Structure 1
């Protein structure tokens, strides 16, 4: 009977006929379909949860998934038992791989391959545990080194070393979080912190889960001030990290006062990220933060209007699509809930035509947000914004929404807005503005 034993951390399968060394078989390509595996690539894997490539001989040709109960047909091909039984149950008397006709539909358990697979997967689990333990220990050591670091250069280097280890390493992130790395990094953001240390701390905080202590530390006026400076003066990567940190603080911390803790300088930095065409990847996180801020309180929305967000967002909307377009209109819809926001949108010459153009263009979500903006400004200023919207083709777009497969509330809002706009036109002129065909009329 074959037996399994572990010798020198290498799994071996012994039988009367052969001795199979799993590590050697994988290295030499015996289990890889003739291709040699690259042990250096596996050793260089950066994430503990990354999947190592499973040898091709372990994969069922039918499901393309690793087998658990391999059986062999009379043609010598091996399959997962349930998959080949399902194949045969459908009356197919051929081998799925070679398409040879089967002279015997019996299946034989492949015990040797099954034990070899069990050994290989056990060895992989052992490697993962060891790698996770090594990475976790390294992360804990780096957190302790950060705690003991002195001087701005020492702290900045300790933060950079920690960040380099944390990127893509789930085990390292977990160990660092348990060691209080988030609170420690947040505590370094103060009135006398250099931009070098602040940038490194923001990079660490962007990849760590933020506990309550860290979130509270980040809401200190000194920390907010430094984040604002980094958003306005930092590199594109630093600004992206700061935006992610602020987004998570606002999203996870409860209370309306959170939005009010954010300074005008910080909001101006976010608007600058939206404006910057050179760093396109910065727009989406900045818009998410602005949307979260707008959802906090009326004072927060007034502050967003005060830093000129409306004009910058409207200007950039022409070149946006997907998430950026949806978030941009979501911010404007939130600002349109306040009188100051509606006045800013109405005063921005391209806002109303842009909203009309967004209807039925990007997505249903984008259509809903743009429609909310149009509703707000046309209701507050019908003679100015309503007429401008109709001249931009609003009536025809609303008819498209009504006839589309959009949600019922969206159709209802479109019908009401269409009725509102029609009050300022003669019937025949409004029909012409709708560009209705004879059939629709």
Structure 2
């Protein structure tokens, strides 16, 4: 045995030396056939056996079953049960083989965690519901911790948790404890928000719980806080609630003190692209459902912030910022602030046919509103638009084709621009904006 071990070590050293010297010695390892998954043909990391007696890697066979297949891939027998029994014997053999061949760069596969079962999730959720009813925050936090840990382990666990109704149970607990005291249960409420973010989109029942006065007040409280993670999670969940289309939810949110300041602050001091998108989407739906809030947002300086975002943001954020600006330009105050900003007209012209079809539609709509919606009386805006190439851009947009309402606005705008086209000197429509002085 000693001699055999010594020879093996010597052989390993020789191979390493050959590899370092650049020799062509073939050191590729051949994975034993019974260690490979019959589906992926890769080394199994979590071998499980079906009722047919065939062993597969758990991830591969789960994808096979989730695709709607009801047969064993190897035997083609109809599966009487979809239970997947861990094959510990094969797993240990694979791990031993990996250890024996470490000299060839093969890493030992870790011992996999057993996925959570649906009945275990249901039991935890039942206990959490009972704890929320009795106001037992310690027990409730313990249950939330288990759900959070399951989600960290694998995507399969996340799907299992969501499919068994965890979203509604967590939303119900959030609503219950936020009604009692936000400050007292801040830790629990923050944990619930964090878990809810990977359960989106929620069902109608869960959204109804999060749309209550207490829940909305709690989320706004977190938005105005100092914890960046809590602010981000609150923004994501709040967006989901507002986008549900429930007018009463938006009305309740508008009545919640500090919501406008919190949303504008999230845009002014961005935490990340995801949070910025969420806040812009929330504002867009709020101003679409309630006209009264536009003036308030203008007072908070949102117009200049939106223009700053549009200058060099990525497509999705740019579209959302333009959508909000388009909505704000419906009110007199918003339109006046936008007209006075030196970046507005050049930016809108530049974004036409530059970002996306949606961004072009919003840009044309904003220019149309700034030009007094096709009526006379806004010479300054129209002359500036012609100077930066708006006529050519709008003309091309009409030739390419656009939606009904956008087509009408573009046609009216083009007629107005045509009046001033021969009176002013035009510049290249690809005008760079980096040399323009920002008013903010």
What's the TM-score bracket when you normalise by the shorter of the two chains?
Answer: 0.5 to 0.7
- Structure 1, unmatched stretches of 5+, are 1-24, 43-49, 59-64, 70-112, 437-441
Range with bigger deviation, 272-281 or 157-166: 157-166
Structure 2 matches for 1:149-228, cutoff 5 A? 156-165=141-150, 168=155, 169-177=158-166, 180-190=169-179, 192-194=181-183, 195-206=186-197, 207=199, 215=207, 217-228=209-220
Q: Is the 8 A contact 1:264 1:303 kept in 2?
A: no
Structure 1 residue 34: deviation in Å? 6.3
Two-structure CA RMSD over aligned residues (Å): 4.0
Which position in structure 2 is the counterpart of 1:118? Answer: 77
Q: Is the 8 A contact 2:298 2:334 kept in 1?
A: yes
Please tell me whether residue 333 in structure 1 is matched to residue 326 in structure 2: yes
| Pairing partner for 2:351 from 358, 365, 370 | 358
Measured in 2, the distance between the counterparts of 1:212 and 1:405 equals: 38
Which position in structure 2 is the counterpart of 1:369? Answer: 362
SS of residue in 1 equivalent to 2:355 = coil
Structure 1 residue 287: deviation in Å? 1.2
Which position in structure 2 is the counterpart of 1:428? Answer: 422
Which position in structure 1 is the counterpart of 2:279? Answer: 286
Measured in 2, the distance between the counterparts of 1:30 and 1:216 equals: 45
Please tell me whether residue 147 in structure 1 is matched to residue 147 in structure 2: no
- Structure 2, unmatched stretches of 5+, are 1-31, 50-56, 86-114, 430-440
Structure 1 residue 363: deviation in Å? 0.8
Q: Deviations for 1:284-342, whole angstroms, at most 9, x for unmatched residues?
A: 11111111111112113333333332221111111212211111111111112222221
Please tell me whether residue 245 in structure 1 is matched to residue 202 in structure 2: no
Structure 2 matches for 1:288-327, cutoff 5 A? 288-327=281-320
Measured in 2, the distance between the counterparts of 1:34 and 1:171 equals: 27
SS of residue in 1 equivalent to 2:312 = coil
Structure 1 residue 272: deviation in Å? 2.2
Measured in 2, the distance between the counterparts of 1:313 and 1:145 equals: 46
Measured in 1, the distance between the counterparts of 2:83 and 2:177 equals: 38
Structure 1 residue 376: deviation in Å? 0.6
Q: Is the 8 A contact 1:139 1:176 kept in 2?
A: no
Q: Deviations for 1:384-433, whole angstroms, at most 9, x for unmatched residues?
A: 3223323332222222213324446534422321222344x3x6335x53
| Pairing partner for 2:36 from 24, 29, 34 | 29
Measured in 2, the distance between the counterparts of 1:179 and 1:367 equals: 39
Structure 1 residues 343, 139: CA separation in 2 closer, same or farther (over 3 Å shift)? farther
Q: Deviations for 1:216-257, whole angstroms, at most 9, x for unmatched residues?
A: 554455543332231132444322321222222222252367
Q: Is the 8 A contact 2:345 2:385 kept in 1?
A: yes
| Pairing partner for 2:223 from 228, 231, 253 | 231
| Pairing partner for 1:417 from 410, 413, 418 | 413
Question: What TM-score, normalized to structure 2?
Answer: 0.66
Which position in structure 2 is the counterpart of 1:127? Answer: 84
Measured in 1, the distance between the counterparts of 2:364 and 2:39 equals: 57
SS of residue in 1 equivalent to 2:371 = helix
| Pairing partner for 1:136 from 109, 116, 121 | 121
The alignment of Structure 1 onto Structure 2 pairs a total of residues equal to 349
Which position in structure 2 is the counterpart of 1:265? Answer: 258
Measured in 2, the distance between the counterparts of 1:277 and 1:208 equals: 22
Q: Is the 8 A contact 2:280 2:324 kept in 1?
A: yes
